[in-house]
Amino acid sequence: MALILELTVQGAQMGLVLLLAPLLTGFVRKVKAKLQRRQGPSLIQPYRDLLRLMRKEVILADNASWLFRATPYLIFAATWVAAALIPTFATGLTFSWTADLIAIVALLGSARFFLALAGMDVGTSFGGIGSSREVMIASLAEPAMLLIVFSLALVAGATQLSTIASFMGSSAVGLRVSLGMSLIAIIMVAIAENARIPVDNPATHLELTMVHEAMVLEYSGRHLAMVELAAFLKLLLYVSLISCVFVPWGLVTATAGPASYGLAVVAYIGKLAVAGILLAVFETATAKMRVFRVPDFLGAALMLALLGTLLLFVSRSL
């Protein structure tokens, strides 16, 4: 009986992230539109887009291989699994020990690996430019992310996300310089990883500095729907990750019971909304940078993360 309950909660979490992901992106778009004094598409437009794309016929390039057709499902699955392993409203779920934070970062790396390959599959120069830049960005963002993981792991004494979240929620944490550095660094990494302004512009298709959209240019129909859904999930994943580590309030344990779950879900949705507004404001206020400024941006994140880790190695209390 307990097992069934646990599995239900785990399943609910998987369903929750899948359902909320398009909403978050729709919400960010809406807020951005409002900030630019536009009406903007409705909140549920991403769902409609996904459904429309799924019903459409796929047009494959003549020399697209099986890898091109399998990749959308693979990256969707990898991103979904990664997103479902991050505590959204409850810690210590049944399968939360399946992968720790390092493994979650690496899972996203797997998704990116395949997406970059898919960009090169058809053999157009647009796909190549996207993949080439994506791996450059990843080669800096991934070590930065791992160093942030190191910092968190050293503070909490674990790489297990549930443990980190419960530790951060306890009073044992206090204010630490290293955590502040990690927070800034992880936000920078999240911006780069999700192809947001100032690193990449999610709203364009025809710009020479585009990265993510260039890789998926050849996709259409249900394949594109999967790729888009994976991108929505990835944004949600980073927001959940940052909020469960740095704002762990409202999280409950896995055995809390339905009433607390409801409250925790409400708290989670509240956090998503705040993050969405902040992201929209930030994106509206910043200009996109030249692609070769991105290494400086990510290099700063890398150095911040390294400094944070170094401080922790020197003294556990910093």
Partner 1 sequence: MISDLAILLWGVAALLGVSVLSIAISRRDLATRLVYAATLGISAALFVIVTSRLITAPLQVSAIVLPLGLPWIGAHFRLDALSTFFLIVVNFGGAITSLYGLGYGRHESAPHRVLPFFAAFLAGMNLVVLAADAFAFLLSWEFMSLASWALVMAHHREQDNARAGYIYLVMASFGTLALLLAFGLMSGPVGNYTFDAMRSTGASPLVATAVLVLTLLGAGSKAGLVPLHVWLPLAHPAAPSHVSALMSGVMTKVAVYAFIRVMFDLLGEPTWWSSIIVLFLGGLTAVLGILHALMEKDLKRLLAYSTIENIGVIFVSLGLALAFKANGMGWAAALALTAALFHVLNHSIFKSLLFFGAGAVLTATGERNMEKLGGLIHRMPVTSFVFLVGSVAISALPPFNGFVSEWLAFQAVLQSPDLPQWGLKVMVPGIGGLLALSAALAAACFVKAFGITFLGRPRSAAAEQAREVDRYSLLAMFVLAALCLLAGVLPGLVIDGLSPVMLSLIGNRMPVQMAEPWLSIVPIAESRSSYNGLLVFLFIAISASLAALVIHRFASHAFRRGPAWGCGFPDVTPATQYTAVSFVQPIRRVFGTFAFRARERVEIPPPGATAPARLTVEVHDVIWETFYQPITGAIGFATEKLNHLQFLTIRRYLTLVFLYLISLLLVLVLWP
Token pair listed for 286: 């910043």
Question: Which residues from 41-60 bind partner 1, rule CB under 8 A?
Answer: 54-60
Burial 238-257 (b: 16+ CB within 10 A, else e): bbbbbbbbbbbebbbebebe
Question: Which residues from 197-226 bind partner 1, rule CB under 8 A?
Answer: 205-206, 217-218, 220-222, 225-226
Q: How far is the CB of 77 from partner 1 (least distance, A)?
A: 4
Under rule CB under 8 A, residue 8 binds partner 1: no
Under rule CB under 8 A, residue 309 binds partner 1: yes
Under rule CB under 8 A, residue 194 binds partner 1: no
Q: Considering Cα of 60, then 235, then 198, then 201, what sign does the dihedral take?
A: positive
Q: How far is the CB of 135 from partner 1 (least distance, A)?
A: 4
Give the contacts of 69 (CB within 8 A, at least 6 positions apart).
Answer: 60, 223
Nearer to partner 1, 40 or 128 (CB): 128
Question: Which residues from 60-99 bind partner 1, rule CB under 8 A?
Answer: 60-63, 65-67, 73-74, 76-78, 80-81, 95, 97-99
Question: Which residues from 261-300 bind partner 1, rule CB under 8 A?
Answer: 291-292, 295
Nearer to partner 1, 60 or 177 (CB): 60
Q: How far is the CB of 51 from partner 1 (least distance, A)?
A: 8
**CA–CA distances in Å: residue 285 to residues 34, 104, 209, 292, 297:** 13, 31, 19, 21, 17
Q: Residues binding partner 1: what is the number (CB under 8 A)?
A: 86
Nearer to partner 1, 177 or 291 (CB): 291
Nearer to partner 1, 173 or 281 (CB): 173
User: Which among 176, 131, 138, 129 has a CA at the least distance from the CA of 317?
Assistant: 176
Rg (CA), the chain: 19
Helix axes 221-246, 161-169, angle to 10 degrees: 40
The overall longest dimension of the chain from CA atoms, in Å, is: 59
Question: Which residues from 122-181 bind partner 1, rule CB under 8 A?
Answer: 122-129, 131-133, 135-136, 138-143, 146-147, 150, 153-154, 157-160, 163
CA 227 – CA 210 distance, rounded (Å) = 16
Token pair listed for 124: 């157009």
